[in-house]
Structure 1
Amino acid sequence: MTDATARKRGRPRRTESADTRDLILNAAREEFSERGYEKTSVRAIAKAAGVDSALVHHYFGTKEQVFAAAVEVAFAPALKIRDAVLEGPLDDVGERMTRMIFGLWENPVTRTPLLAIIRSAVNNDTAAAVFRRLISTQLLRRIAGEIDAPDAELRAELAAAQLVGIAMLRYVIKVEPIASADPEEIIARVAPVVQGHLTHSVNP
């Protein structure tokens, strides 16, 4: 089938589909960031993207599915870096993991969608479930798989909790002095704790 035939039948070309999908995703991230999950509607996302609501449903389905796609895109840089972090020796995985997370938060390009996701997850159970599912399947289980310990999943979750908690205080709630502290100072203090969660033996 030619492009001309496809257009006559109302089917978007592949490039047009990709562009429209990206346009909707960008609008969704902005809406979730400004309004949160509960106050964001498919209609509002469509309006911000300059498309019909039917197109949002066509590409993504429900609002929950749009949010899930936005979360996945926002965490794509972390998932790409993840394997590089885990390739090195476990003796310093805590520092590599800490630097990875802070690198994402310190970069304005990746920080904005992360803020949208965190704010939505904190205020809405559905958004929290989507966020939790992605983190568990794409990040924590992968990290736990590299740890040779019977409580590997707990270790990975404790390490993540350490980093998420600090990120909340620094970037979301903006508590001083942690909000304005030098990132290198925070990494130097936090990385050994993350390392301890991941690999250090636990005394009975």
Structure 2
Amino acid sequence: MARGRTGRRPGNQDTRGLILTAAREAFSQRGYDGTSIKQIATSAGVDAALVHHYFGTKEKLFLAVVRPPVDPALLIPQVLAEGPEGVPTRIVRTFLQTCEGPVTGPAFLGMLRGGTSHRWQGLLLRDFFTTQIVRRVLDKREDIGDPSYLPLRTSLVASQLFGLALTRYVLKFEPLASAHQDAVVTAVAPTIARYLTGDITAELESGNSGL
């Protein structure tokens, strides 16, 4: 009597590595929301149960692919802990601290450089920031207005923070590159506040492409 599938490919292949490779391709092609564990398992040639065995959830598998320098599950509660008023300030300060950390800084800037050089890395970085960072922040807010503008708000926050990282740490524009962290937080936080909860629709609805 033939034995049923075990969910593992025959031989000595690195099953975990096969899953990670399939997941990277799936996430970069379909995005986080458009990818399922079943699709990844099929591409890797294993059972979905084996994917769950190695990684637990789709979110944990995604983080294993992206390998971010910080865990969003630990980061976001710190940003939200002291109430909504200070969220924009804490977002900017936490972002700068991540960029300037002795371990997290080189790792994040490596991700950023990779994202600007390689399309698939850029797509993974975009989805990581969108689904694991900004979405978690906005999901906790009741003052964001029309939820259909969430993708726009997310994009605007990303443009501000990633642009800040490029100009301050990669291109090293002065005097921004040498500015004290407190000064940068004070300058950037109001813009983040507007992008999170302010009126960002008037110019678009009037047909003016400027923001």
TM category (shorter chain) comes to 0.5 to 0.7
Secondary structure at the aligned position of 1:88 is classed as coil
Secondary structure at the aligned position of 2:103 is classed as helix
Structure 1: stretches of 5+ with no match in the other structure: 1-53
Indicate conservation of the 8 Å contact 2:153/2:195, yes or no.
yes
1:109-165 Cα distance to aligned partner (Å, 9 max, x none): 100111111111101111112212222221122122123311233223312321111
State the match for 1:71 in structure 2. 66
RMSD: 2.7
State the match for 2:101 in structure 1. 107
* Aligned mates of 1:125, 1:107 — CA distance in 2: 26
Identity across the alignment (%): 28
- Tell which deviates more after alignment, 57-66 or 159-168: 57-66
Structure with bigger helix share is 1
* Aligned mates of 1:140, 1:128 — CA distance in 2: 16
**103, 108, 130: which one pairs with 1:136?**
130
State the match for 2:162 in structure 1. 164
Question: Relative contact order, CA 8 A, sep 6+: which one is greater?
Answer: 1
How many residues are matched? 149
User: So what's the TM-score if we normalise by structure 1?
Assistant: 0.63
Indicate conservation of the 8 Å contact 1:98/1:163, yes or no.
yes
Structure 2: stretches of 5+ with no match in the other structure: 1-11, 26-61, 203-211
Indicate conservation of the 8 Å contact 1:159/1:197, yes or no.
yes
* Aligned mates of 2:83, 2:151 — CA distance in 1: 19
Secondary structure at the aligned position of 1:108 is classed as coil
One-letter amino acid of the counterpart of residue 179, structure 1: A
* Aligned mates of 1:59, 1:174 — CA distance in 2: 39
Q: How much has 1:72 moved relative to structure 2?
A: 2.9
